[in-house]
Amino acid sequence: MSQVLLAGPLGEVTKSVLSEAAFLFCDELSEGAAPLEARLVEATITFEGATPGRITLRLPWHVACEAAANLLGAEPGDDDVEANAHAAVGELLNMISGSALERWFGSGSQWSLGLPSVSEREGRLPSSAPRGELVALAIDDARIELEASLGSVT
């Protein structure tokens, strides 16, 4: 499968998962949208199978906290929201990846999804040197990004 075939389905499942699971509604990123310099949460998951690869999700910190609050049924300022922001982003990526793999390869194909790893950093979106295909969306004008790549993940 060529890299260019990854983005469309990945964008669609991301919109679906974020709205269904976390009540986060994505819009298409408007052309000429400004880059984002922000505290970011980044989650990456790898998958093995006939076609191995990796998917990365990058969200601004405040969107990660909003996701955690919505998943937990809590208010954004509640004590455990920030503590669960990383776990929330990892779990959302897990959900997105399961759906994306099914869309890309079909449920009859064999693959094995790894565990998400989550980190936090000051960073810039769009990523300056992506290793895969980028999908950029907006949640309340905040830029979020997914990056998908096929090939060896070692």
Partner 1 sequence: MSYSILVVDDSPVIRKMMKRSLSLSKLELGTVYEACNGQEALVVLRREWIDVVLADIHMPVMGGTELIEAMSKDPELSKIPVVVVSAERNAQAIAHLKTLGICAHLTKPFTPEQVLHAVDDVLEQVAQRSVA
Q: How far does the chain reach from its first CA to its final CA, in angstroms?
A: 19
Using CB under 8 A, list all residues that contact partner 1: 17, 20-21, 68, 71-73, 84, 87-88, 90-91, 94-95, 97-99, 101-102, 107-115
Q: Which residues pair with 121 in a beta bridge?
A: 40
Q: What is the DSSP letter of 51?
A: S
* CB of residue 37 to partner 1, shortest distance in Å: 27
What does the alpha-carbon distance between residue 33 and residue 89 come to, in Å, rounded to a whole number? 23
What does the alpha-carbon distance between residue 37 and residue 16 come to, in Å, rounded to a whole number? 26
Contact 32, 143 (CB under 8 A): no
* CB of residue 98 to partner 1, shortest distance in Å: 3
Residue with Cβ nearer partner 1 (56 or 84)? 84
* CB of residue 94 to partner 1, shortest distance in Å: 5
Residue with Cβ nearer partner 1 (29 or 72)? 72
* CB of residue 106 to partner 1, shortest distance in Å: 9
